Structure 1
Amino acid sequence: MSSTAEYVAVFAAGIGSGILISTVGFASLLSFPVLLAVGLPPVVANVSNTIGLTPAGLSGSFGYRRELREQPVVTAVVLATCAGGAVLGVVLLLSLPSGVFAAVVPYLILVTCLLVGLQPIITRVLRRGREPAARVRLSGLTTTFCTLVGVYGGYFGGGSGVMMMAVLGFGADLELRVVNALKTLSVAAGNVVAAAVFVVLAEVDWAAAGLLAVGSGAGGYVGALIGRRLPATLLRVLIVLGGLVAAVMMLV
């Protein structure tokens, strides 16, 4: 980066990406292309982007603290599984070719968004004719899938928040605003682990990472304020649309 306009663009991308993390997810749709546009090599841009967006997940989780307090056990499970899974994901990232998931990720995101969009309908069909007790604890199977999402988040990351929303949407009976808060927390856990490793082992453009961090920290908190006020149906629609855009961008 060499001009004031580029610095401003990266900072603005940080604010926008922070808002996206706490609402619909897919924050890298905005920030990563901007880093490439200002001249960062792809690997440096990816590393700097992860570090720069870490404050967004943290501030967003703080903004959603009321929702997270409503389900302390589920919050603890999501935090532990995603942080632990991300450790394994980072190990895989450092030991496997970077393109291992590249071919399948767009289709994985498409399927996940379809599940998020259709989850209320599928759940109603599956429960037709019976009134099961509300599920506010995570089963062993759901916990396993949370861990797998954490692994994916540490390795690749794109769409991990929406994958978590799909897992929790089918694995527990929680309000969408609470699921969105847990999604934001899961992204934060994965980014913190990955960022800690990148700081030590990878090349970072600290100017870009710093501008993103300041902007995304503010944006993440604002996004949480917006996210808790969005009607559940509108939020679900926005998440699906964001996933479709992300998948198409990855395919082309």
Structure 2
Amino acid sequence: MWTVPSLGTIIYLILGGIVAGILSSAASFASLASYPLLLSVGVAPVYANVTNDAALIWNSLGAVLASLKELHGHWHQVLKYAIFTVIGSVIGCCLLLAFPGKVFERVVPFFILIAGAMILISGKHTPHPGRKRPLWQKSLYLLALVLTGIYAGYFGAASGIVVLVLLTYLMEQNFLVTNAVKNAVCGFTNLVALIIYGFASRIYWLDALPMAVGMFVGGYLGPIVVRYIPAKMVRWIIAILAVTQALIYFKQAYF
């Protein structure tokens, strides 16, 4: 039974939000900390997913503010790619509100494992700025962004990784720039989901707000941390976190 959070719970949510914010902006893995964090204070699973979106907005804002250097000259790409993930997010939100069943949760662990493998494979890709991809190939990547947006709107765990991988091939930029654009694109995606859920579902604001404070701080720290860690190491950290989260969700879904 959910109750008004105590001072201790508020501090717990702020600290947990900082960890989740760093994981999100640096490694695309906020849900590894934020979703279980909300469950641990008594928020029901479906509402935890919705409330998590409310806090993630502030994580994205912190990450964007810390990445203005990397985002300089790339805002047109942020807006262009965000259109596709936002379209998908709207569809995903509608699916969640209409079919909040258990079947989808059984697929999530395998999706996360695939996402973890994708981030390692994309690390072998050498960026070629200015490279023009065939129209069919670019269209395929953009369609994949829409599908990822659908998943993000419905559940979201590890969706940031897939967006990061797709942008790696679409943008042909170094990891720092691609990660910064990913944070901004995911911010727009979460914002649209929040607007929909704000009207059509229930958000536990008293839990979301302290976690949002922590996520803003963590979101700001994440891009700064990434600047001092080799991209290859970051990719391996993401892959390890993917396996960890996949095992957690596999246990929840099948045992």
TM-score, normalised to structure 1, is 0.88
Q: State how far apart, in whole Å, the 1-side matches of 2:88 and 2:65 are.
A: 22
Contact 1:78–1:182 under 8 Å retained in 2: no
Report the RMSD for the aligned CA atoms in angstroms.
2.3
Matches within 5 A, 1:25-44: 25-44=28-47
Structure 1: gaps of 5 or more residues: 125-131
Return the letter of the residue paired with 1:88: I
Q: State how far apart, in whole Å, the 2-side matches of 1:186 and 1:225 are.
A: 18
| Alignment partner of 1:135 out of 127, 131, 134 | 131
Q: How far does residue 172 in structure 1 lie from its aligned partner after superposition? A: 4.0
Residue deviations 1:101-154 (CA, integer Å, cap 9, x gap): 211111111112112112244x47xxxxxxx88537792222221222112111
Q: State how far apart, in whole Å, the 2-side matches of 1:99 and 1:170 are.
A: 33
Structure 2: gaps of 5 or more residues: none
Question: Which has the higher mean CA deviation after the structures are superposed, 137-146 or 190-199?
Answer: 137-146
Is it true that 1:11 corresponds to 2:14 in the alignment? Answer: yes
- Partner residue, 2:105: 102
3-state SS, counterpart of residue 40 of structure 1: coil
Is it true that 1:119 corresponds to 2:118 in the alignment? Answer: no
Matches within 5 A, 1:1-252: 1-121=4-124, 123=125, 134-135=130-131, 139-252=138-251
Relative distance call for 1:2 and 1:65 in structure 2 (3 A) is: closer
3-state SS, counterpart of residue 23 of structure 1: helix
Relative distance call for 1:139 and 1:4 in structure 2 (3 A) is: same
Q: Percent identity?
A: 31
Q: Which runs of 4+ in 1 moved over 6 A?
A: none
Relative distance call for 1:42 and 1:163 in structure 2 (3 A) is: same
Return the letter of the residue paired with 2:218: G
Q: How many residues align?
A: 245
TM-score, normalised to structure 2, is 0.87
Q: State how far apart, in whole Å, the 2-side matches of 1:227 and 1:28 are.
A: 19
- Partner residue, 1:127: none
